[in-house]
Structures are given as structure tokens and as C-alpha cells.
Amino acid sequence: MADDLYFRKRNRLEGYDYSESGFYFVTTCVENRENVFGSISDSRCELSDYGKIFEKILHETIALFPGIDLDYYVIMPDHVHLIIIINSTEEKKKAKSLSGIIGAVKSRSSAAIHQAGFKSFKWQPSFYDRIIRNERELFYIRQYIEQNPLRSEIDDEFADNMPKL
């Protein structure tokens, strides 16, 4: 029974090689969903200094890995959505795994944000991922990413206008 307390749901698809070529949708959140990276205004996220640091580090980190590309992304105040493309080919060394890529982005951005003065910044452990299986799914996930700031703004306005019970 005590072992049940330590059971943690697996985040990755069991038996799948996350260094395989493909498109991957990733969401990772700031610890406690703290609004660190900016604020939503006019259906877009106006990046704070920390949001700008994260964006710079994201691009720099992706560029470090051969065969890895960033397709779409959005930086929200308390989380980020990314579509990562892994192009693993036989003539190159096997591509870095998705966990390795996201781990590098998170650790490098944390170090830069700490250095900029936000010493207590942390990411939530792990991340959500989805293996994108076809063009239709890719289309809808790109649309979701593009519309995320608008949906957030609408949700906030709706919550502000709800009567207090």
C-alpha cells in the first residue's frame, strides 16, 4: 500500500523512441503556474524581460542540436507550447531525445533567468507531450498554439465578468 503513494503516472508513451523522426507537441509550465513570462494584451502575450530571455534561450538551445527544429511555439505568462521536429537520419548520429531537448531548454533558461535576478525561478517537473500523428493533427495543434493567447484573454474576461457567488 505504501508503494502506491509513490506511484507516478508515466508521461511518455511506453516503448516509444523519442529520438525518432517526427513532430512532437510539448507543453511545460512554470512552477505553481506563476506569471513570469509576460501578460496577455490584445490577444497576444507581451513578453516580460524573463519571457524575452526564455525566447532567446529557446532558439539558442534548439540550434545546438543537429536535426532538431522548432516549428511553432507560443510563450504564455505561465507556460509554453512548442512543436519540436526531430529529423533523425542514418548518416547523422541519432538525434537527441525529446526529453533531452526539453531538459536542455529548461535548465539553460533557468540558469539565464536566475542570472537575470529571479533566483527562485523554477519549472514544474516534467512536461506534457503528444506525438503528432498526421497532417490534420499538426494543423489543429498549430491552430491551438496560435489561438492560445486569444483563448486565455477570453477566459480571463469571462472570469472577471462572472458574478461572485
Any idea where the domains of the chain sit in the sequence?
A: 18-157
Angle at 72 between CA 70 and CA 77, to 5 degrees: 105
Instruction: State the Cα–Cα distance between residues 55 and 52, nearest whole angstrom.
Output: 5
Core vs surface per residue 79-112: b (16+ CB within 10 A) or e: bbbbbbbbebeeeeeebbbbeebbbbbbebbbeb
Q: What is the pLDDT of residues 140-165, one digit of tens each?
A: 999 999 999 887 766 554 444 444 44
Q: What is the pLDDT of residues 47-85, one digit of tens each?
A: 999 999 999 999 999 999 988 999 999 999 999 999 999
CATH number belonging to the domain at 18-157, selected among 3.30.70.360, 3.30.70.1290, 3.50.50.100, 2.40.30.10:
3.30.70.1290
**Helices H, strands E: what count in the chain?**
4, 6
